[in-house]
Copies of this chain bind each other. A is one copy, B any other.
Amino acid sequence: MKAVVNVYLKEGVLDPQGKAAHHALVSMDFEGIQDVRIGKQIVLTLETEDRVKALEEVKEMCETLLANTVIEDYSIEIL
């Protein structure tokens, strides 16, 4: 079973990596870009086939290691 976790900066938190990409795209003559935000996508391959247990476990992984919940939010999708 796979779990996909998207970790992204909370709204209002500065994203220097996104800003740099935005700047680079503009300097390469791409037009009409209002904003660029860059986050992480973590794909976990799990042994369990229990979706409820998987979601619970992955949530705990996010809270303790994968996301910095002070400045980041996350979403979990079980595939």
Known: A8-B41, A21-B66, A41-B6. A32 touches B61 (CB 8 A): no
Contact B40 A44 (CB under 8 A): no
Contact A65 B8 (CB under 8 A): no
Which residue of B is nearest A36, CB measured? B44
Interface size in chain A (residues, C-beta < 8 A): 31
Q: Report A51 CB to chain B, min CB distance, Å.
A: 13
A57 contact set on B, CB distance < 8 A: 30, 32
Q: Report A57 CB to chain B, min CB distance, Å.
A: 7
Q: What separation, in Å, do the CA atoms of A48 and B60 have in the docked complex?
A: 39
Contact B30 A61 (CB under 8 A): yes
Decide if A25 is an interface residue (CB 8 Å cutoff).
yes
